[in-house]
Amino acid sequence: MAIFRPLPSLAIAAVRASAPRVETPAVLYGVVTCDGILPLLNQLQTLPPGDAVFFYPADPMLPFLTGRRYPVRLDMLLPQYSTPAQYQETCRQLMQEAQWVVSHVEITQPDFYRAVFPAMTNPLPPEKMAFEASLDAAFVHVGTYDGFQLMRRAAADVALCDEIIR
């Protein structure tokens, strides 16, 4: 005998139905508001249309939804999942191609990784720390949208990526 449980589905449907609608170059969609996503999306729409935006560490839908060119091959960089070589390759591609970086700061923190990936033994490996140091050296902070940080290209140099693998 099957048991019908409509409440979770109805709750999800109610949240989706009441979500604000955001129009981007790709689509009109509903957004469950949290972590400053609506102000961030509004800000991204004001950037020059051809500018490439890198979303860090993992927001694979945002390049599509915002209609932004994504400047690197990988769509996520996660400790103990991504290799030091992948961090370095991504860094080099960023230094050559990206005008903007959006960092979801809350999900780059060790507590987040420990909660979501309990088997992760080191959420702060040297390659992650060196990658983030390269970002901080090459891009300047221009805005914070709750859990998101927007950075603009300033002193991007491929040589900044050399420290990732030593």
* Whole-number pLDDT of residue 32: 47
Which residues does 76 contact at the CB level (< 8 Å), separation at least 6? 57, 58, 60, 82
C-alpha distances in angstroms, 127 versus 73, 99, 111, 131? 18, 22, 18, 6
In this prediction the pTM is 0.80
Structure tokens at 79: 């400790």
Which residues does 117 contact at the CB level (< 8 Å), separation at least 6? 78, 80, 123
* Whole-number pLDDT of residue 61: 82
Structure tokens at 11: 């709750």
What HEC string does 38-90 produce? Answer: HHHHHHHCCCCCCCEEEEECECCCHHHHHCCECCCCCCECCCCCCCHHHHHHH
* Whole-number pLDDT of residue 19: 54
Distance CA 70, CA 75 (A): 9
* Whole-number pLDDT of residue 10: 38
Residue 122: which domain range?
35-164
Assigned domain for 50 exists? yes
Assigned domain for 2 exists? no
Assigned domain for 9 exists? no
Residue 131 exposed, middle or buried by CB count within 10 Å (0-12, 13-18, 19+): buried
Please give the chain's pLDDT, 166 residues, in tens.
444 344 444 344 444 445 555 555 555 444 445 557 788 888 998 999 899 999 999 888 888 888 889 999 999 999 999 999 999 999 999 999 999 999 998 889 999 999 999 999 999 999 999 999 999 999 999 999 988 999 999 999 999 999 999 7
CA of residue 94 relative to chain centroid, distance: 13
* Whole-number pLDDT of residue 3: 42
